[in-house]
């Protein structure tokens, strides 16, 4: 028989270890009775043991969920004793005698209490704060509402989505997280949403996640969120759902925002088409799938779900089929018309702004240099202020021109604010404007009424001018009194650039300068480009009856870009030419409100016209009394108000452009 000799040091080590274990057990026992340890609980409730049933709702038996020891050990609750949550359990009997007046385990209450305790020293406990935020989101969610069949309890509680005993959501960016994502559809579908799961399983998303185990496919929480679940028919859900789709389909979201559907949606309204209206929700299929709602054979029917008489819209016609809700200007193979239109509009904007901003900058510099050298005299004189005997003025504009100009100014500003609110719907100010007038529908009505007034004023002016010119026997179409560009205008423009650089004298302008003619004819261009494109968009069912759907894409692009060009040009170039040149300061120039200007100012700005009238003896026919002081002051106030409004609109348009 062999005997083992144990040295004294080893014996002490064993005794010390045993003492420590006993002390540890004694410490734990001070908090939790030995019979209520997790090990005791697992002896009955562990996976693989006999199923345990208890009375459930409506006196039906309910089987308790078993606890997997291995998974529990890896969960966030691994270090906790069962009775830390199950505080109503006071014994280890087969049929527990529960403590009176003790609430059943509740995840939300427990975690809220833990976060309240941790707030004093939150370092290292940030996760508890996130859980607390999730609890608040859940309480306001659709799941927290009373169940229809059992109003005494909510539609869903934490334990129905989370395995409470084995809870362990892996960190983002890890392979474990991706595998965890794949379990979500079954968690949602098999317990509550069976029909939606069936549709999802056959969808383009479901075929990835459930068919190929590819976690890149969209799952329930990508669209519905995790805790902030809202009713799918609510506006907050519909708005957020579009953004959720855009998290993966970035290019498609951007192109959708360029359509009127997307602009209204971004303003915060949900009555226009959204992703789910066209593609469906749970059963989304590829475009070339015959079952897809956007398949070429199904597309018109899909459009008519919204564009029909019951929804207050004319019935969608054939052209809707070829409309590109995701058309863009950088894919020539797929959208050649948009590519061409985009390149044309970009070239137009760059060309116009590059030329005229350079023109303004050089003009400002040249006049400022001459002003510093005292080569010019301010146009403001004591006579104009009424401090001396008023002099005769030259009548430059009749009352009809002035009224038309004022009406154009007010209508144009209305068109700019209402139109750019939709065009730049992603800006911070556009939703405020839409809400202030009562929403995009009212915004659209105001825009169309203003457009009709603009075209009406333009047509009245055009007919009036044409009938006068056609009846005149002395008018020359390319003469000095005509607004039609001629060779002198090109010579004057070249001469101005030479003057800018000190290479020649300033040109002698006739009745109309080349930049005034550009302003005038720009209206003709704008009315046709903006007007016709807007008309096609205002009556889509008629447009789509005679034209292919890509016309809508091009019309939307041209309408918005041309309107942007007009607005920025007016509030920069036009304002500079007429109000902000050093020789015009201080603003405003009121000739378009009073209709007259001093002889001195007329002779300075239009020397060729002045000389022609003097030589022909016709100058006296255009001389009138200077406007009264009241008229002048009123014109100054009106001019300053309009300039201020224009500059405010310019700031809004600029911020909207950069936000877009």
Two tokens, residue 9: 């040091």
d(CA 582, CA 367): 6
How confident is the model over 378-393, as pLDDT tens digits?
A: 444 434 444 334 578 9
How confident is the model over 145-180, as pLDDT tens digits?
A: 998 888 888 888 888 888 888 887 888 888 888 888
The Cα-based distances of 367 to 266, 289, 374, 608 in angstroms read: 45, 67, 10, 20
Per-residue model confidence (pLDDT) at position 269: 96
d(CA 396, CA 624): 10
What's the alpha-carbon Rg for the chain, to the nearest Å? 39
Per-residue model confidence (pLDDT) at position 149: 83
Q: Which residue has the tokens 């129905």?
A: 160
Per-residue model confidence (pLDDT) at position 34: 62
Per-residue model confidence (pLDDT) at position 151: 86
User: Looking at beta carbons, which pairs linking 371-375 to residues 24 or more positions away fall under 8 Å?
Assistant: 371/582, 371/583
Question: Which residue ranges of the chain lie beneath pLDDT 70?
Answer: 1-35, 57-58, 375-390
Per-residue model confidence (pLDDT) at position 71: 83
How many helices, marked H, and strands, marked E, lie in the chain?
29, 5
Per-residue model confidence (pLDDT) at position 390: 53
Per-residue model confidence (pLDDT) at position 566: 96
CB of 271 closer than 8 Å to CB of 313: no
CB of 540 closer than 8 Å to CB of 313: no
Per-residue model confidence (pLDDT) at position 74: 83
The neighbouring-strand residues paired with 624 are 393
Per-residue model confidence (pLDDT) at position 165: 84
């Amino acid at each position: 028989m062999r005997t083992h000799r144990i040295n004294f040091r080893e014996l002490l080590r064993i005794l010390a270890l045993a003492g420590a274990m006993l002390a540890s057990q004694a410490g734990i026992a001070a908090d939790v009775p030995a019979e209520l340890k997790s090990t005791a609980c697992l002896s009955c409730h562990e996976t693989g043991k006999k199923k345990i049933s208890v009375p459930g709702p409506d006196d039906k038996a309910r089987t308790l969920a078993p606890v997997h020891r291995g998974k529990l050990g890896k969960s966030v609750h691994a270090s906790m004793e069962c009775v830390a949550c199950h505080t109503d359990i006071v014994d280890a009997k087969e049929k527990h005698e529960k403590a009176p007046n003790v609430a059943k385990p509740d995840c939300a209450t427990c975690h809220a209490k833990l976060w309240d305790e941790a707030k004093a020293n939150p370092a290292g406990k940030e996760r508890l704060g996130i859980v607390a935020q999730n609890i608040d989101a859940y309480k306001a969610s659709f799941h927290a509402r009373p169940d229809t069949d059992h109003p005494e309890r909510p539609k869903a509680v934490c334990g129905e989505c989370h395995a409470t005993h084995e809870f362990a959501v892996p960190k983002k960016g890890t392979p474990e997280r991706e595998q965890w994502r794949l379990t979500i559809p079954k968690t949602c579908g098999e317990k509550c949403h069976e029909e939606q799961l069936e549709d999802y399983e056959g969808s383009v998303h479901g075929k990835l996640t459930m068919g190929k185990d590819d976690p890149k496919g969209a799952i329930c929480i990508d669209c519905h969120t995790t805790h902030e679940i809202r009713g799918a028919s609510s506006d907050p859900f519909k708005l957020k759902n579009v953004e959720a789709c855009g998290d993966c389909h970035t290019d498609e979201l951007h192109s959708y925002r360029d359509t009127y559907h997307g602009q209204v949606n971004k303003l915060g309204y949900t009555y226009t088409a959204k992703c789910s209206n066209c593609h469906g929700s749970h059963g989304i299929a590829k475009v070339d799938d015959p079952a897809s709602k956007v398949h070429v054979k199904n597309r018109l029917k899909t459009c008519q779900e919204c564009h029909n008489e019951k929804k207050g819209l004319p019935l969608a016609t054939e052209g809707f089929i070829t409309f590109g809700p995701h058309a863009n200007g950088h894919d020539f193979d797929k959208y050649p018309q948009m590519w061409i239109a985009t390149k044309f509009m970009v070239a137009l904007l760059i060309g116009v702004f590059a030329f005229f901003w350079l023109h303004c900058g050089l003009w400002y510099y040249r006049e400022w240099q001459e002003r510093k050298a005292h080569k010019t005299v301010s146009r403001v004189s004591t006579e104009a202020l009424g401090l001396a005997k008023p002099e005769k003025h030259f009548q430059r504009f009749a009352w009809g021109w002035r009224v038309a100009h004022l009406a154009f100014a007010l209508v144009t500003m209305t068109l700019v604010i209402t139109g750019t609110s939709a065009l730049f719907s992603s800006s911070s100010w556009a939703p405020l404007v839409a809400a202030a007038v009562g929403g995009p529908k009212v915004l659209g009505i105001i825009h169309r009424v203003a457009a009709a007034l603009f075209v009406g004023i333009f047509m009245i002016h055009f007919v009036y001018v044409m009938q006068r010119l056609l009846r005149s026997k002395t008018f020359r179409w390319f003469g000095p009194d005509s607004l039609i560009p001629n060779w002198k205008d090109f010579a004057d423009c070249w001469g101005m650039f030479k003057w800018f650089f000190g290479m020649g004298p300033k040109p002698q302008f006739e009745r109309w300068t080349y930049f005034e003619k550009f302003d005038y004819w720009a209206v003709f261009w704008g009315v046709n480009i903006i007007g016709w494109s807007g008309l096609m968009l205002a009556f889509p069912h008629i447009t789509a009856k005679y034209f292919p759907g890509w016309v809508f894409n091009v019309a939307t692009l041209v309408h918005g870009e041309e309107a942007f060009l007009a607005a920025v040009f007016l509030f920069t170039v036009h304002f500079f030419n007429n109000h902000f040149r050093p020789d015009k300061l201080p603003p405003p120039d009121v000739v378009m409100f009073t209709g007259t200007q001093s002889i001195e100012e007329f002779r300075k700005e239009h020397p060729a016209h002045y000389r022609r009238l003097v030589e022909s003896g016709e100058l006296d026919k255009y001389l009138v009394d200077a406007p009264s002081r009241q008229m002048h002051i009123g014109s100054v106030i009106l001019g300053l108000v309009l300039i201020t409004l224009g500059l405010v609109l310019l700031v809004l348009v600029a911020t909207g452009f950069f936000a877009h």
